[in-house]
Structure 1
């Protein structure tokens, strides 16, 4: 039996009580059954890794040509992944991607040489993040 319509949204609001000096709460996980629409995924890669990313389900794959499209403002996306060899080129547009929270970093796990698994995880993962009052807001 289904409750609600097909376009319903699931939201989670969770109040956390952190210890003094605790880092910001954020992360991601994969649900056993996918229930959300994944966003537009861009992968900055070249050569064999670009082919792997396209086969894994990335929406758009490239390197310098994608950077030029982002500079001109014609490309909008929700998530991005970069390989380590292309990251120095992507760093040129850090001022554009950084404020939007889209800049690939090693700490977030979206700079990798295992592009296939990174694309599969990015397409199916559920992300959460706490605000300044340590309330976790997440929705799909």
Structure 2
């Protein structure tokens, strides 16, 4: 029920799924000093600063999430042409540019997902694997729909959720009632 062409009607954010996504996420961190130690302790695959930036500029893209501190964003910004098209560019709204790098790494590994409105006003979001079972999938779905409902822009008019459908990768879609989210 929003129009993606208007800047004041963008729906975007990130949420940590209580049961994870079922994927092993490879996280790297660009940080210095204490933040680098915290990222390493949290389980980042690789931690560095200028050396890691040079490595990424040289073509290293063997990771799923890039986390950095605000003071390093000036240097990471130069990688925009490499990271931007792949959706790997760190972003404060997604929680990947933060002074608390350790927590960001932990969240990413725990199953933090980003949701964002596309040009057709649709949000595509993974909520888990079919092998999770109904209870875990329902908990994840509730968490995602609650987060999207809370992200409702003030400029949005009329019915916010038009419809919601859950589907396996290659399976048929099943409609979900969204009236309990009150928007």
TM-score greater than 0.5 by the shorter chain: yes
TM-score, with normalisation over the residues of structure 2?
Answer: 0.60
TM-score, with normalisation over the residues of structure 1?
Answer: 0.76
Could you tell me how far apart the structure 2 residues matched to 1:27 and 1:58 are?
22
Partner of residue 46, structure 1: 32
Whether 2:123 is the aligned partner of 1:132: answer: no
Partner of residue 86, structure 1: 72
Q: 1:108 to 1:35 in 2, by over 3 A?
A: closer
Q: Which runs of 5+ in 2 are unaligned?
A: 129-183
Q: Secondary structure at the match of 2:29?
A: strand
How far did residue 19 of structure 1 move? 6.0
Could you tell me how far apart the structure 2 residues matched to 1:130 and 1:108 are?
13
Root mean square deviation, CA, Å = 2.1
CA contact (8 A) 2:3 2:9 kept: no
Question: Higher relative CO (CA 8 A, sep ≥ 6), structure 1 or 2?
Answer: 1
Q: Which runs of 5+ in 1 are unaligned?
A: 1-16
Count, aligned residues: 124
Q: Secondary structure at the match of 1:43?
A: strand
Could you tell me how far apart the structure 2 residues matched to 1:94 and 1:19 are?
27
Partner of residue 140, structure 2: none
